[in-house]
Amino acid sequence: MRALRGAGEDVPVGDTAWIDDAERIAARPGIADGEALRRIGAGERTAHAVADLIGRRRAQFPQLARVASAIHADVNLARDIERAVDIDGSVRDKATPELAKLRRRIGQLRVSLRETAERICRSFGEDALTTLVGSRHVLVVPRREIRRGTGVVHAASQTGESLYFEPPRLVAMNNDVESLVGKEHAEVLRILRDFGQRVHSGAGRMRANSEAIEVLDAIRARALFSEQYHCTAPGPSPDGTVCLEGARHPVLERILSSEGRAHLVPLDITIAPHERVLVITGPNAGGKTVALKTLGVCALLHQCGIDVPCGQGALLPVFERILVEVGDGQSLESSMSTFTSHLAHLDTMVRSASPDALCLVDEIGQGTDPDEGAALAIATLEALVEKGAAAVATTHFGRIKSFALSTAGVANASMAFDEVDGRPLYRILLGVAGRSRGIETAQRMGFEGGVVARARELLGTEAFDLDDVLARLERERLQLEDQRRMFEKKKEEHQDAIAAYNEKRGAYELTRKQAERKALREAQDVLESARRDVERVVEQIRTRNADAESIREARATIRGRLERIHAQLAAPAGEVRPLMFTEADACVSISPSGAPAGVVVKVDGGRALVEINGRRIRIPVERLYPPDDDAPTTEPAASSVPAVEWEPLESAELDVRGQDRETALAALILFLDRAALTGIYEVKIIHGVGTGVLAAAVRDALRTDQRLEWFREGAHGEGGAGVTVVRFSR
């Protein structure tokens, strides 16, 4: 789906609530509701559009085509509904010829009836007027003007001075109108009943359409989520390793982005096969709970087949169950305190744990005496280790930190803290227990100074000695982590350089044989030309009777020609040398590969005007090469084509990282023009990942370029989401 969207297409899924209308009509066959029919018709149109779009790209997207193959839309039903039913649900006049005829006749009669009523009204004097009683035209006439037996009296006014009177002429005409209205109503009911029957007979097909569209909608939603949060698909992990680099919590990222706050710090989370339990410690408000929730969300997304918001190379196993204990489960209704709720959840977790389970516990052992809470927490973690479950727990208890340091199968981790600035860095440091820094957090938040100082006194020096050791370990680990990140960045740059080199080397190998053949043909042409020159010189000597001056001139001519031959043949095997000279109407190329090829229009000094693919290019002669035999050439156009100063493209990559949108797009357009003229059919645009704005702008511009066959996101080893690979149509 992401590839389909990247190609500039999108599945028009829309709302599938219309299936409820179809099933309601099918359950009780009869007269269908007009508004429901309009929704059903729109649903059939949507189903047809989806099936048509994916059907046209069946070869490219076979999995989507397999889902869409269940869609069988009734376009005729949709067309008939649109023709017969208006957007407000009313039946149109043109629904059937009979209905159009009835409504036309009703309109004519109503006009005639109104005119007749007004004419009769004038005969009763100025005090009379026309009005409607129900749907019938009547007169309001003073009582004194009406004679008994001359019409129908419907009612009297409140004063009794006037009567609602229907003369015999109006009675007949009103009756005619009502008769036609009854027939019109019957025709409308028949039309709606017919549509109801058609919906009833196609309800099963519509249900299949709706289910297929809902599946495609879910796939599309996953693709949109993946694009919005720059997600990747984790690889399989048969040994249970959890490896997330640059993981982000999508909800937190959305909140921070909507509020315009600081960029979310990505997390690196690792659970090794030999250390399945991870204990995270560190400062308050340092990100421990966020790390826990990020891992849980990423695992759940992976379980649901949704790409995970993290960097390339992620590994995640498929867990049989994910058990979570986060937050305060206190309940007055069930008489549970914070601690008893915590214990109940831990008990369930231990009983349900298995090697295929992921257990996440925030502040394990909290809510009771620290010694007892730590003991319960350690016993729980030991049980999880014994059962082989993957588990992550956060804590502030020193005993649990010591337990993690000394127990096989348990790893320590801490949230990094900047000692200089006194602020959390929201990064995980593996292998190091962290300080809680409760007193420092209170000081950072502006807690009353005297209280903070007294707290330090009460804590004592022994605790500070341990904190100093932990702080030193944390600093050293942070330095090692920074060095590792720098090494990884250099490694990635090195791999990209190797990939670029291999790509260029592969392109060279593909053209090497062609280059050798060109060089051989060029040598043969040069030798043949030399042979003709020698024959011409010999003929001149013969005609001049071999005088001394003629012999000297002949020797000089042959010597100069041989020097040029040796210069041309001195190139290494396989190397294609530029042309030494050219002339009008000669076939040449602007690339050593020999393609694309064009025709020299004229030579002016050291520059040639060459026409290639309908464009004229002014280029130095020393930049021209022999054409490939298979390269198509075009004859110069009869009409005048403006010449442009232009140099062939020497690199198949464009790097726009760090540029603003307008500068990058201008560079992209120029790069694509030069690539098309040079004959390079596949290029790379390096835009980086960043916020995704520059990448989106580049791909929006590529969608409008008619010269392109396709473009896609870079694969692993090509630069991933930071690169777009472009292929020109040949």
Q: Can you tell me the mean pLDDT for 51-77?
A: 86
Q: How confident is the model at residue 351 (pLDDT cuts 50, 70, 90)?
A: very high
How far from 650 is each of 497, 591, 678, 683, CA to CA, in Å? 17, 9, 9, 11
CATH of domain 578-648: 2.30.30
Which pLDDT band holds residue 519 (cuts at 50, 70, 90)?
Answer: low
pLDDT value of residue 510? 52
CA distance 263 to 257: 7
- What CATH fold (topology level) applies to the domain 97-194? MutS, DNA mismatch repair protein; Chain A, domain 3 (1.10.1420)
Amino acid at site 330: Q
Contacts of 11 (CB under 8 A, 6+ apart): 1, 4, 50, 53, 54, 64, 216, 217, 220
68 vs 678 pLDDT, higher one: 68
Q: What is the mean pLDDT of residues 238-261?
A: 87
Q: Is 719 helix (H, G, I), strand (E, B) or coil?
A: coil
pLDDT tens digits, one per residue of 568-625: 555 554 556 677 777 888 888 877 667 667 888 888 877 888 887 767 777 788 778 7
Phi, psi of 181 (to 5 degrees): -60, -40
Q: Is the pLDDT of residue 323 over 90?
A: yes
The mean pLDDT of 239-253, rounded to a whole number, is 90
Quick one: pLDDT at residue 187?
Answer: 92
pLDDT band at 302; cut points 50, 70, 90: very high
- Residue 8 clears pLDDT 70, i.e. is over it: no
pLDDT in the model for residue 702: 92
Q: Please give the torsion angle defined by the CA atoms of residues 402, 407, 410 and 412, in that order, rounded to the nearest 10 degrees.
A: 30
Give residue 331's pLDDT band: very low, low, confident or very high (50, 70, 90): very low
Q: What is the DSSP string of 214-238?
A: HHHHHHHHHHHHHHHTT-BPPBP-T
Which residue intervals of 242-395 are DSSP H helices? 250-258, 288-303, 338-352, 370-387
> What CATH number does domain 242-459 carry, 3.40.1160.10, 3.30.2310.20, 3.40.50.300, 3.40.50.261?
3.40.50.300
State the Cα–Cα distance between residues 576 and 624, nearest whole angstrom: 11
Higher pLDDT, 511 or 274: 274
Sorting pLDDT into bands at 50, 70 and 90, what band is 641? very low
Lowest-confidence segment of 64-73, 260-269, 488-497 by average pLDDT: 488-497
* C-alpha 524: how far from chain center: 55
Identify the band that residue 396 occupies on the pLDDT scale cut at 50, 70 and 90: confident
Whether 639 shows a pLDDT value over 50: the answer reads: no
Strand order in the sheet with 277-281: 321-325, 357-361, 390-394, 277-281, 410-418, 423-430
Between residues 87 and 59, the one the model is more confident about:
87
Distance CA 180, CA 665 (A): 67
What pLDDT is attached to residue 636? Answer: 60
CATH of span 653-728: 3.30.1370.110
Rounded to 5°, angle at Cα 208 from 206 and 211? 110
> How many other C-beta atoms can be found within 10 angstroms of the C-beta atom of residue 370?
13
Asked if 471 and 491 touch (Cβ cutoff 8 Å), the reply is: no
Please say if the pLDDT value at position 640 is more than 50: no
SS3 635: coil
pTM summary value? 0.56
The average pLDDT across 108-121 equals 91
Residue type, 499: A
Could you tell me if 23 and 200 are in contact, meaning their C-beta atoms sit under 8 angstroms apart? no
- The domains spanning 242-459 and 578-648 adopt the same CATH topology: no
Domain ranges of the chain: 2-74+202-228, 97-194, 242-459, 578-648, 653-728
